[in-house]
Amino acid sequence: MERQKKRWEDHTVMHINRLLGHAAFDRYPSYEAALREDKSKRDVISLNGSWDFLYLEAPEYSPSDFYKPEADTKEWGTITVPSCWQLKGYGQMHYTDVLYLFPINPPYVPTKNPTGIYRRSFAVGEEWLNNRTIIKFHGIESAYDLWVNGQYVGYSKVSRMSAEFDLTGIITAGENQITVRVYQWSDGTYLEDQDMWWLSGIYRDVELINMGHTCIRDCHIETDLNETYEDGILKVKVLMDKPSGDTSLQWVLLDEEEKTISEGSLANISETTGIHIPVEKVKLWNAEKPYGYTFLLMRYQGEELKEAIPFYAGFRKIEIKGSTFTVNGKAVLLNGVNRHDFDPENGRTVTKENMLSDILLMKQHNINAIRCSHYPANEYLYELCDRYGLYVIDEADLECHGFELSGEYNRISNDPSWENAYVDRVKRMIERDRNHPCIIMWSLGNESSFGCNFEKMARIAKELDPTRLIHYEGDSEAKVTDVYSTMYTRLNKLIEIGEGDQGENKPHVMCEYGHSMGNGPGGLFEYQQVYRKYERLQGGFIWEWFDHGIETRRDNGEIYYKYGGDYGDTPTNGSFCIDGLLFPDRTPSPALKEYKHVIAPVKAVLKSWEDRLIEVENCYDFLSLEHLELQWNISYDDKVLFEGERKDLNVLPGTKQEMKLSCGPITPLPNTDYYLNLIFVLKEDTSYAKAGHLVAREQFHLPVFLEERSKYSEKDSFNVVSGETEIVIQNENTEVVFNTVYGTLVSYKAYGRELVNKGPELTVDRAIIDNDMYKKEDWRNKYFLQLSSEQLEAMQIEQKKENVVVTFYKYFSCLNQSWGYYLIYRYHLHSDGKLELKLTGEVRKEGEIFPSMLPRIGIVFHTPKLTEVAWYGKGYEENYCDSAKAAFMGVYRGNVGSFHTDYAYPQENGHREQVKWFSLTDGKEGLLIKAAGPVGINVHDYTKEALEKAAHIGCIEKSDDVVVNIDYRQSGLGSNSCGEEQLEPYRTALEDFKIHLEFSKVKAFDEIAESKKIYF
- Of 512, 836, 925, 981, the catalytic one is 512
Burial class (CB in 10 A: 0-12, 13-18, 19+), 942: buried
Query: In one letter, which amino acid is 460?
Result: I
Task: State the Cα–Cα distance between residues 946 and 948, nearest whole angstrom.
Answer: 6
| Active-site residue flag, 504 | no
Give 407: exposed, middle or buried? Use CB within 10 Å, 0-12, 13-18, 19+: exposed
Active-site hit among 9, 399, 419, 447: 447
Give the closest residue to 539 by CA, choosing from 402, 370, 411, 385: 370
Cα–Cα dist 378/350, whole Å: 8
Give the H or E element holding residue 462.
helix 452-464
Query: In Å, what is the CA distance from 893 to each residue of 679, 900, 914, 918, 999?
Result: 22, 14, 15, 10, 19
User: What string of H, E and C letters represents the secondary structure of 759-770?
Assistant: EEEEECCCCCCH
Between strands 369-372 and 550-553, the pairing is unpaired
User: What amino acid is encoded at 289 in this protein?
Assistant: K
Q: Judge if the upstream peptide bond of residue 271 is cis by omega within 30 degrees of 0.
A: no
Prior bond to 584 cis, omega within 30? no
Residue 798 known to be catalytic = no
Question: Within 185-231, where are the H helices?
Answer: none
CA-based diameter of the chain, in Å? 114
Rounded to an integer, what is the distance from CA 795 to the centroid of its chain?
Answer: 52
Measured distance CA(97)–CA(571) in Å, rounded: 10
E-only strand ranges, 753-897: 753-756, 758-763, 788-799, 803-814, 820-830, 835-844, 856-863, 868-875, 888-895
Q: What is the distance of C-alpha 478 from the center of its chain? A: 27
Give the SS3 label for residue 569. Answer: coil
Phi first, then psi, for residue 359 (nearest 5°) are -65, -45
Q: Read off φ and ψ for residue 838, nearest 5 degrees.
A: -115, 115
Neighbouring-strand partners of residue 49? 81
Name the residue among 584, 995, 571 with its Cα closest to residue 761.
Answer: 995
Q: Can you tell me the distance from the alpha carbon of 326 to that of 227, in angstroms, rounded to the nearest whole number?
A: 13
Using an 8 Å Cβ cutoff, are 260 and 254 in contact?
Answer: yes
Burial category of 492 from C-beta neighbours within 10 Å (exposed 0-12, middle 13-18, buried 19 and up): exposed
Q: Give catalytic residue positions.
A: 447, 512
